[in-house]
């Protein structure tokens, strides 16, 4: 299926959704996540990404550090800052963590990372959470350290459905941000509804947690793909957006786009300039090229790829 035939008009016919200016500002400087296997499908990142786009590299169970470093080096060589994942529960010990960091720095010039617990229920080694990674001192030379954020709570951390342990962890990270030279931020799981995101950001502000928020957004994808990933990632109340759409047989086979969700957040940011969201982070669940093309078409200059200034055509795939 061609890229343009995959994309369709925005879900809402609200005239506001035809105004790209709001999204152009809100999506400026967005970041995107790849895995080694999805990155391998991209012929040239310069053909699809704006200059300076931060590229996260997700490290999931079963991915070798060789593949991770190779992908980081390739992305860095195209001129993009790289932020690999450091999943605590997948790292055996301090020596292995030191080896990863040495390789990332030596082979790809990495000076930033996303520190998170990781998707496993039990650690394979001595680390159970991101705070333990920080306490090794091995990240002291990093310029950017992001941690995972959970607007809809996280039952792996708080099985009772509260946010007691999550908030305790965030207070630790707030304190860490005040004693480190690194710039600290929270990168969140993807959501589908603006209300819980706004409520969460307001709650953090009320608790004195002012870490910049990089809100996770699922790129355009078929509904069944989004539902599959949402179930595996433990998406909370905002999944009702997908469930309601699934009941509408006329829209069941059409891809779901983040247009309405992002417009609502952008409008809220416009009305409340102190709103904690600093950046948008895309999870390209329907394909890297599909997501970047959506940004180009809906946010104009915010999506302009490097190669647009070089005379190269846009990548029509990936």
Phi, psi of 188 (to 5 degrees): -95, 160
Phi, psi of 42 (to 5 degrees): -95, 120
pLDDT tens-place string over residues 5-47: 334 333 444 444 445 689 999 999 999 999 999 999 999 999 9
pLDDT tens-place string over residues 110-131: 999 999 998 778 899 999 999 9
Taking all residues of the chain, what is their mean pLDDT, rounded to a whole number? 86
Q: What is the pLDDT of residue 240?
A: 66
Phi, psi of 216 (to 5 degrees): -75, 135
Angle at 258 between CA 252 and CA 264, to 5 degrees: 125
- Under the banding of pLDDT at 50, 70 and 90, the label for residue 313 is very low
pLDDT value at 179 more than 70: yes
* Cβ atoms 303, 244 nearer than 8 A: no
| Alpha-carbon distances of 254 from 6, 182, 235, 282, 316, rounded to whole Å | 8, 42, 21, 20, 19
Q: How much is the pTM?
A: 0.86
Q: What is the pLDDT of residue 243?
A: 59
The DSSP annotation for 37-48 comes to HHHTT-S-GGGT
Q: What is the pLDDT of residue 162?
A: 60
Q: What is the pLDDT of residue 21?
A: 87
Nearest partner of 288 among 79, 82, 34, 6, judged by Cα: 34
The answer to whether the Cα torsion of 77, 291, 155, 185 is positive or negative is positive
pLDDT value at 2 more than 50: no
Which has more confidence, 262 or 122? 262
| Alpha-carbon distances of 95 from 114, 131, 288, rounded to whole Å | 19, 17, 34
Write the CATH number of the domain with boundaries 3-304.
3.20.20.220
Top mean pLDDT of 2-6, 52-56, 156-160, 304-308 is at 52-56
Terminal CA-CA length for the chain = 11
Contacts of 42 (CB under 8 A, 6+ apart): 34, 48, 288, 289, 315, 318
With b for 16 or more beta-carbon neighbours within 10 A and e for fewer, the 235-265 pattern comes to bbebbebbeebeeeeeeeebbbbbbbbbbbb
* Cβ atoms 211, 185 nearer than 8 A: yes
pLDDT tens-place string over residues 291-303: 999 999 999 999 9
| Alpha-carbon distances of 166 from 88, 185, 259, rounded to whole Å | 16, 15, 29
Q: What is the pLDDT of residue 73?
A: 98
* Cβ atoms 246, 224 nearer than 8 A: no
pLDDT value at 166 more than 50: yes
Q: What is the pLDDT of residue 225?
A: 76
pLDDT tens-place string over residues 219-254: 998 877 777 766 666 566 655 666 565 545 445 456
- Radius of gyration of the chain from Cα atoms? 19
Q: Which residues pair with 146 in a beta bridge?
A: 114, 185
């Amino acid at each position: 299926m061609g890229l343009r035939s995959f994309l369709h008009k925005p879900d809402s016919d609200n005239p506001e959704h035809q105004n790209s200016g709001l999204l152009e500002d809100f999506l400026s400087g967005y970041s995107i996540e790849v895995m080694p296997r999805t990155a391998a499908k991209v012929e040239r990142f310069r053909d699809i990404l704006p200059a300076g786009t931060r590229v996260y590299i997700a490290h999931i169970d079963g991915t070798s550090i060789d593949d991770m470093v190779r992908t980081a080096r390739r992305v860095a060589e195209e001129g993009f800052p790289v932020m690999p994942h450091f999943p605590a529960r997948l790292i055996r010990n301090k020596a292995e963590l030191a080896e990863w960091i040495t390789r990332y720095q030596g082979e790809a010039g990495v000076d930033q990372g996303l520190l998170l617990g990781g998707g496993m229920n039990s650690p394979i080694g001595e680390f159970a959470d991101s705070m333990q990674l920080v306490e090794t001192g091995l990240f002291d030379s990093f310029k950017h350290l992001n941690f995972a954020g959970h607007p809809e709570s996280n039952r792996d951390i708080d099985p009772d459905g509260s946010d007691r342990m999550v908030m305790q962890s965030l207070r630790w990270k707030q304190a860490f941000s005040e004693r480190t030279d690194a710039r600290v931020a929270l990168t969140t799981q993807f959501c589908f509804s603006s209300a819980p995101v706004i409520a969460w950001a307001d709650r953090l502000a009320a608790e004195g947690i002012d870490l910049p928020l990089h809100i996770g957004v699922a790129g355009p994808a078929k509904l069944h793909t989004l539902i599959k990933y949402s179930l595996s990632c433990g998406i909370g109340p905002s999944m009702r957006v997908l469930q309601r759409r699934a009941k509408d047989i006329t829209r069941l086979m059409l891809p779901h786009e983040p247009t309405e969700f992002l417009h609502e957040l952008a409008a809220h940011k416009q009305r409340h300039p102190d709103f904690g969201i600093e950046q948008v982070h895309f999870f390209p669940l329907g394909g890297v090229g599909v997501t970047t093309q959506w940004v180009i078409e809906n946010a104009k200059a915010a999506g302009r790829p490097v190669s647009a200034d070089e005379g190269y055509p846009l990548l029509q795939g990936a």
